[in-house]
Amino acid sequence: MLVGILAVLVVLAGLAVMQLSPANPLGPALAGSGLALPFLLLLWLARRMCYVVQRPATAVMGSTVYSLLVLASFLLAWKLGNVTPCSAFLLVGAASLASSILLLWRLGLRLSRTQAQTALEWTRVLRENWLYGRWLVGSAVLYAATSQLQMVLAAGLLGLSAAGVLRAMQIPSLVITQVITAAGLLALPALSYNFARGETQKLRRRATLVSLTLGGFAIAFVAVCALFAAPIERILYSGKYAAYAPFMAVLALIPAMNGFAAGFSIAMRASQKPQFDLISNIVAAPVGLLSAFLLMRWWGLSGAIVSMVLSFAALSLTTFVCFQLSIPTDANLTGVQPRVSAD
């Protein structure tokens, strides 16, 4: 219901832009993104279901099918000369829907009248999601300021071409960020199990191990980008952004910091303390905002990149501090009753 409301609002915004400025490509892009939004999020949900039931191979299969469908549909659209922002979103949405149906079928989840009759009460579902998710709503808004503000300011202050360069150089690190996010979510059920049983020390050890493992993996990626930035740029962009290739190694520091904070962040969510996720973003968002305005005035596009790194450094450091303060070190959690988590 929530996603349906949001999707309708985005589609209406796109239609409004199309009426007010028919030549503006933003209108069709917004409308297409609104139509694709429910199906894209459905795929994310289906993949997380696979993580919860400890079937990551099924999630990989769904992601593989999704990737192949997107690639094939874009190649077909390119051959037909019909690649537009709107069609791009619609193709992604169609691929997401097909992949979601496949994952739900593989998980044995089929919509039927019998299942609908045994569903949880709406009031209970809404209450559970509100108690847990209200903190994450604020975190999501502030995280957007932390991670996307520099892109918007680069487009406004330096021009759309500068924002395009920034996004192009960020794509390799975005891939690693997705890998870290998926790998971290695999640990969430185990950490939730430790929390439900009051096993504080085991939870802390697992969280630390996850952070060190993912952080070390991301540091290795930073080294690869630093050593092979030029060849990577040629493979991806055929030399179009050769002058900006060193930026890839700097931007690769972002998933490195995310990796070192991933285990601690997931441990706090597993411990039903999402409010600390909000606190981390409250600290990081002003750092990103202030550094972006100051550094972009002095260093231009380089300042935007440094600002992004600083904001994620603040986010990761605050996450670590919140983890140390929120989860005790010398005693087990007591009085904890396992319950369904909204995450």
* Spatial CB neighbours of 141, under 8 Å, sequence gap ≥ 6: none
- pLDDT(68) > 90: yes
Where does the pLDDT of residue 115 fall: very low under 50, low under 70, confident under 90, or very high at 90 and above?
low
Q: Compute the mean pLDDT over every residue in the chain, rounded to the nearest whole number.
A: 86
What per-residue confidence (pLDDT) applies to 74? 92
Whether 312 contacts 171, CB under 8 Å: no
Give the number of other CB atoms < 10 A from CB of residue 54: 11
- pLDDT(96) > 90: yes
Which of residues 269 and 256 earns the better pLDDT score? Answer: 256
Query: Alpha helix locations (H) across the chain?
Result: 2-20, 26-52, 56-79, 85-106, 113-117, 122-153, 160-196, 200-237, 247-251, 253-270, 275-299, 301-326
Encoded tokens for 88: 């791009």
Q: Which contacts qualify for 57-66: CB closer than 8 Å, 24 or more apart?
A: 58/103, 58/106, 58/107, 59/103, 59/182, 61/102, 61/103, 61/106, 62/99, 62/100, 62/102, 62/103, 62/106, 63/99, 65/98, 65/99, 65/102, 66/95, 66/96, 66/98, 66/99
Can you tell me the distance from the alpha carbon of 189 to that of 66, in angstroms, rounded to the nearest whole number?
25
Per-residue pLDDT tens for 265-315? Answer: 999 888 888 788 888 888 888 898 898 889 988 888 899 999 999 999 999
- pLDDT(332) > 50: no
- pLDDT(145) > 80: no
- Of 253, 272, 270, 257, the closest CA to residue 318 belongs to 257
What per-residue confidence (pLDDT) applies to 339? 46
What per-residue confidence (pLDDT) applies to 144? 76
pTM: 0.73
Q: At what angle do helices 2-20 and 26-52 cross, to 10 degrees?
A: 160
What per-residue confidence (pLDDT) applies to 342? 43
What per-residue confidence (pLDDT) applies to 341? 45
DSSP 156: I
- Of 185, 205, 184, the closest CA to residue 194 belongs to 205
DSSP 332: -
Q: List the single range of 100-104, 134-138, 251-255 with lowest mean pLDDT.
A: 134-138
- pLDDT(26) > 90: no
Which of residues 156 and 224 earns the better pLDDT score? Answer: 224
Where does the pLDDT of residue 25 fall: very low under 50, low under 70, confident under 90, or very high at 90 and above?
confident
Per-residue pLDDT tens for 156-183? Answer: 888 888 888 999 999 999 999 988 988 8
Q: List the single range of 45-59, 90-104, 133-147, 269-283 with lowest mean pLDDT.
A: 133-147
What per-residue confidence (pLDDT) applies to 330? 55
Q: What percent of the chain has pLDDT over 90?
A: 45
- pLDDT(316) > 90: yes
